[in-house]
Amino acid sequence: MTLKEIAEELVAGCRNGKARANVDRLYSEDAISVEAMDGPSGSRVTEGRAGIHGKHEWWETAMEEHSTETSGPFLHGDDRFAVVFKVDATDRSNGQRVQMEEVGVYHVADGKIVREEFFYTMG
């Protein structure tokens, strides 16, 4: 797949509830995911497809999404693209509702996503 095809598939999956299925299709087995701050595991970095699936599972269990908007993809050169996410969700553990805007930057090599990095604000 080309960079554009991968980027468009990732965005379509996010919009159509197939984000988790796309991890297996679009990500390298040893892909790395990097958050802006430590997550529930105590680290900013998650390694491998299985770990990225675990992040998705945690989010789906911990948060109730009210709405999500996905913008992009925004291509950069031959090996990167960005996507903007706007999320309105409630933390199930404490009932706190949050509005979050996040930029995901995805690095592609050999037809697969090899690294994702997230930048965000919460309000």
List, in order of start, the domains of the chain with CATH numbers: 3-122 (3.10.450.50)
Looking at residue 123, what is its pLDDT?
55
**Residue 110 neighbours by CB under 8 Å, 6+ apart:** 28
The whole-number average pLDDT for the span 55-78 is 95
Instruction: Report the candidate in 23, 27, 9 with the shortest Cα–Cα distance to residue 109.
Output: 27
Q: Which two tokens stand for residue 44?
A: 């900013």
Residue pLDDT, tens place only, 29-41: 999 999 988 776 7
Distance CA 89, CA 111 (A): 32
